[in-house]
């Protein structure tokens, strides 16, 4: 059990009352029972996830290029020559490490989201470091993906410090069960990563309306940098977003899944990445536990329902209002 869940609930039995899913229970009753080991590589690597999604016709940020081996780095110049905005990321990265976001060009320079300028040699070094495993788990050699830049839906503009916010949804047996929005802050250095100080906003499953927000596991009412009140925040395209998350079940065959989505201002909801061992802090952001929702789905008799039925079920049964 992560300590922070205890901190949130002063008494351990209040924790059980609230139906909080513990790390042990998640692993034992959900991850190992519903996620076949042989399927895990499908989501552990961002390149395979992207290929899988493209094959299934599930919307993702466009893959503009892949640099797989050191000798491919020679092609980088040609590849980037006609691109004015793009993102370079390690296929095996996590926690926002090694993600280079280029939002414009200034002559031969590349301009980062923060305004900082990089020369081609800097970008090339970033790619070389990525291939060398600087950002991958355990320092394993890696692959660099070049993908289209996501421009966040303007609804989030007042709620994020740089960085694109993402929406994490837990999908169990194809049913979306709980969701939260993650917003970058100064403390999180423009990354939507809760451990680094991003804000997690619990979302109502029926509407995408914000429920409560936490930073470093403590409730907050306003964004710490932009001072905007979270109560006015509601995620648009909600049903479409839930539908895409639900489809990730058929796409991967994984029964217990964390789906991360972004809302692009032109393309709408896109799948950013999938996680077969999604974290438990989503419960803190929502102020409620996962257990009863997961157990409700486990007792459903009706076999495999269609995507639209699963989405309707989630919107009807898991709403806070
Ligand atoms: N194509 C992109 N355009 C703009 N920002 C991006 C893009 N891809 C990732 N990001 C930013 O980087 C963060 C982490 O990206 P993600 O693909 O989820 O990698 P990680 O596994 O490191 O979490 C995202 O939440 C988003 O803020
Ligand atoms: Mg991520």
Is the C-beta atom of 166 inside 6 A of ligand 1?
yes
Nearest-CA residue for atom 4 of ligand 1: 150
Q: Establish whether residue 47 lines the binding site of ligand 1, counting it when its CB lies within 6 angstroms of any ligand atom.
A: no
CA separation for the pair 115, 128 (Å, rounded): 23
Claim to verify: residue 104 and residue 199 sit in the same structural domain: no
Residue 19 near residue 288, CB atoms below 8 Å: yes
Between CA 163 and CA 210 the distance in angstroms is: 19
- By percentage, how much of the chain surpasses pLDDT 70? 94
pLDDT digit string, tens, across residues 72-118: 999 999 999 999 999 999 999 988 889 999 999 999 999 998 889 99
> How close is the Cα of 209 to the center of ligand 2, in Å?
22
Q: Are residues 76 and 181 in the same domain?
A: no
- Cα–ligand 1 centroid distance for 235 (angstroms): 18
Give the residue from 90, 114, 147 where a domain finishes.
147
Domain containing residue 232: CATH number: 3.30.470.20
In angstroms, the CA 193 to CA 248 distance is 22
CA of 96 from ligand 1 middle (Å) equals: 6
Q: Are residues 91 and 162 in the same domain?
A: no
| Residue 227 shares a structural domain with residue 122 | no
* 97 located within any domain: yes
Q: Nearest C-alpha to atom 13 of ligand 1 is from which residue?
A: 96
125 and 159, same domain (yes or no): no
Q: Is the pLDDT of residue 10 over 80?
A: no
Atom of ligand 1 at shortest range from CA of 98: 22
Kindly state whether residue 44 falls inside one of the protein's structural domains. yes
Please tell me if the CB atom of residue 93 comes closer than 6 angstroms to any atom of ligand 1. Answer: yes
Closest residue CA from atom 12 of ligand 1: 96
Dist. CA 226 → ligand 2 center (Å)? 22
Q: Do 227 and 117 belong to one domain?
A: no
Task: Identify the CA nearest to 104 among candidates 90, 89, 92, 87.
Answer: 87
Shortest-distance ligand to the CA of residue 149: 1
Atom of ligand 1 nearest to the CA of 96: 22
What's the pTM value of the predicted model, to 2 decimals?
A: 0.92
Quick check: is 32 in a domain?
A: yes
> Do 217 and 196 belong to one domain?
yes
Ligand 1 pocket mutation pick from 91, 99, 112 by most atoms within 8 angstroms of CB = 99
Q: What is the count of structural domains for the chain?
A: 2
The response to whether residue 260 sits with its C-beta less than 6 Å from ligand 1 reads: yes
Tell me the torsion sign for CA atoms 247, 275, 22, 191: negative
Q: In the predicted model, is pLDDT for residue 3 greater than 50? A: no
pLDDT tens-digit series, residues 42-55? 898 899 999 999 99
Cα separation, 124 vs 130, in Å, equals 10
Please tell me whether residues 53 and 105 are part of one structural domain: no
- Judgement on whether residues 201 and 313 belong to the same structural domain of the protein: yes
Per-residue b or e along 119-129, where b marks 16 or more CB atoms closer than 10 Å to that residue's CB:
eeeebbebbee
Q: Quote the ligand 1 centre to 85 CA distance (angstroms).
A: 14
The CB of 90 under 6 Å from ligand 1? The reply is: no
Domain that holds residue 129: 63-147
Q: Is there an atom of ligand 1 within 6 Å of 162 CB?
A: no
Output the residue whose Cα is nearest ligand 1's atom 21: 94
Cα 144 to ligand 1 centroid, rounded to whole Å: 13
Distance 318 CA to ligand 1 centre (A): 28
* Distance separating alpha carbons of residues 11 and 36, to the nearest angstrom: 35
Question: Do 194 and 297 belong to one domain?
Answer: yes
Going by C-beta distance under 8 Å and a sequence separation of 6 or more, which residues neighbour residue 14? none
pLDDT of 303 reads 66
Instruction: Give the confidence band of 162 by pLDDT, cuts at 50, 70, 90.
Output: confident
Q: What digits encode the pLDDT tens for the residues 106-150?
A: 999 999 988 899 999 999 999 999 999 999 988 899 999 999 999
Query: Is residue 1 a part of any domain in this protein?
Result: no
User: What is the overall mean pLDDT for the chain?
Assistant: 91
Question: For residue 245, what pLDDT is reported?
Answer: 97
Place of tokens 């830049």: 149
Same domain, 173 and 214: yes
Residue after which a domain boundary falls, among 114, 147, 180: 147
Distance, in Å, from the CA atom of 58 to the CA atom of 52, rounded to the nearest integer, reads: 9
On the question of pLDDT at 1 being above 70, the answer is no
Q: Which of 147, 168, 183 is the last residue of a domain?
A: 147
Kindly give the number of the ligand 1 atom that is closest to the alpha carbon of 260: 18
Tens of pLDDT along 209-266?
999 999 998 999 999 999 999 999 999 999 999 999 999 999 999 999 999 999 999 9
- Residue 116 counted as domain residue: yes
Statement to judge: residues 166 and 35 lie in one domain:
yes
């Amino acid at each position: 059990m992560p300590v922070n869940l205890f901190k949130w609930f002063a008494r351990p039995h209040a924790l059980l009352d609230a139906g909080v899913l513990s790390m042990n229970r998640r692993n034992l009753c959900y991850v190992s029972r519903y996620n076949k080991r042989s399927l895990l590589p499908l989501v552990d690597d961002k390149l395979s996830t992207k290929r899988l999604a493209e094959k299934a016709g599930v919307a993702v940020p466009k893959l503009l290029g892949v640099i797989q081996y050191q000798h491919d780095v020679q092609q980088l110049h040609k590849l980037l020559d006609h691109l004015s905005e793009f993102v370079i990321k390690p296929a095996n990265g996590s926690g926002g490490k090694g993600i280079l976001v280029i939002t414009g060009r200034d002559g031969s320079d590349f301009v980062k989201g923060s305004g900082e300028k990089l020369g081609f040699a800097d970008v090339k070094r970033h790619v070389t470091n990525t291939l060398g495993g600087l950002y991958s788990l355990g320092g394993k050699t890696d692959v660099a993906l070049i993908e289209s830049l996501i421009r966040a839906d303007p609804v989030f503009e007042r709620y994020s410090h740089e960085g694109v916010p993402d929406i994490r949804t837990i999908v169990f047996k194809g049913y979306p069960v709980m969701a939260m929005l993650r917003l970058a802050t100064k403390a999180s250095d423009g990354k939507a990563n809760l451990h680094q100080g991003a804000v997690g906003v619990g979302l109502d499953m029926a509407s995408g309306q914000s429920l409560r927000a936490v930073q470093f596991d403590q409730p907050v009412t306003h964004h710490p940098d932009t001072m905007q009140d979270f109560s006015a925040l509601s995620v648009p395209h909600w049903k479409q977003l839930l539908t895409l998350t639900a489809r990730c079940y058929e796409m991967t065959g994984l029964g217990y899944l964390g789906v991360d989505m972004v809302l692009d201002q032109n393309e709408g909801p896109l799948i950013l990445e999938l996680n077969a061992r999604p974290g438990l802090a989503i419960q803190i952001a929502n102020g409620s536990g996962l257990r009863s929702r997961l157990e409700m789905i486990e007792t459903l008799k009706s076999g495999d329902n269609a995507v639209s039925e699963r989405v309707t079920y989630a919107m009807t049964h898991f709403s806070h209002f």
